[in-house]
Amino acid sequence: MYTGTDDFQMVYTNIMGVFKNAGISSVIKEDLDDAIDHGVMVMKTVRLLCEALELSDGFKQSILLAAGLHDVGKLQLSHVLYGRKKEALHVDEMRYMRMHAANGRDMLRGCGYPEGVLEAVYHHHENYDGSGYPDNLAGTKIPLSSRIIKVCDLFCALVSERPYRAAFEFDTAVEMMIEDSKDLDMGIFLEFLKIYHSEKFEEIRQYAEYANAKKHYLHGVESVVI
């Protein structure tokens, strides 16, 4: 379990350790690259939010691990679900995809990660109004760590290039989040918006540009960068 300060190293080393422990010997490289970039971006955003919320160092260490590894369960499904580059998922595949929260938790448990990390990963797709998964938890029944990751994960997903759609502009992503704010803890989302409008967010903007530029190349998506 690497808990150092280099974000890429932290996500990469931990994902590889989880794979080894789970006996996963191969994964589609592009999926792995995307998962690492996404984990790093969510981790960076979560860190800014935790600092703004003045959360304890112990909590931060746990949630940063969870942020970097929250989608590790998806990679176990990589050969079934990924490898596709142009289409959104079908309904049955979507059901399968939803297993990634529990899969990720179980993989991390097998490696001896702390309970706080397992809990944060398992609940990162719960919605504040109770419409999420896996347990339809609502409000503050959802762990704080998962509510924080939820806001950051949603934003990072929207502004990232996907095989089946282009990345949304930052402001468009925020507007979409406002429209779907019933899914989010409003107190945390408002804190996120404060950071979003601060200079600190430049780090996230630059990382998104860096990660998306790699994907334009990988996926052959036509894009003009000015």
Residues with catalytic function: 74
Stretch that binds Fe ion, among 55-63, 146-154, 161-169, 176-184 (CB under 5 A): 146-154
Give the DSSP letter of residue 168: P
Complex with Fe ion: residue 7 or 71, whichever CB lies closer:
71
To Fe ion, the closest distance from the beta carbon of 81 in angstroms equals: 12
Kindly state whether residue 34 participates in binding Fe ion, applying the rule CB under 5 A. Answer: no
- Whether the CB-CB separation of 173 and 41 falls below 8 Å is answered with no
Kindly state whether residue 71 participates in binding Fe ion, applying the rule CB under 5 A. Answer: yes
* 221 Cβ contact list (under 8 Å, min separation 6): 161, 166, 215
To Fe ion, the closest distance from the beta carbon of 68 in angstroms equals: 11
Interface with Fe ion in residues 148-187 (CB under 5 A): 153
For the purposes of burial, counting CB atoms within 10 Å of the CB of 92, is it exposed (0-12), middle (13-18) or buried (19 or more)? exposed
Give the DSSP letter of residue 70: T
To Fe ion, the closest distance from the beta carbon of 154 in angstroms equals: 8
To Fe ion, the closest distance from the beta carbon of 49 in angstroms equals: 15
Stretch that binds Fe ion, among 63-71, 137-145, 206-214, 216-224 (CB under 5 A): 63-71
Q: What CA–CA distance (Å, rounded) separates 69 from 52?
A: 22
Stretch that binds Fe ion, among 105-113, 147-155, 161-169, 172-180 (CB under 5 A): 147-155
Complex with Fe ion: residue 102 or 220, whichever CB lies closer:
102
Q: What CA–CA distance (Å, rounded) separates 101 from 192?
A: 23
Within 10 angstroms of residue 140's Cβ, the number of other Cβ atoms is 10
Peptide bond into 114 cis (omega under 30): no
Count of residues interacting with Fe ion (CB under 5 A): 2
Kindly state whether residue 31 participates in binding Fe ion, applying the rule CB under 5 A. Answer: no
Return residues touching Fe ion (CB under 5 A): 71, 153
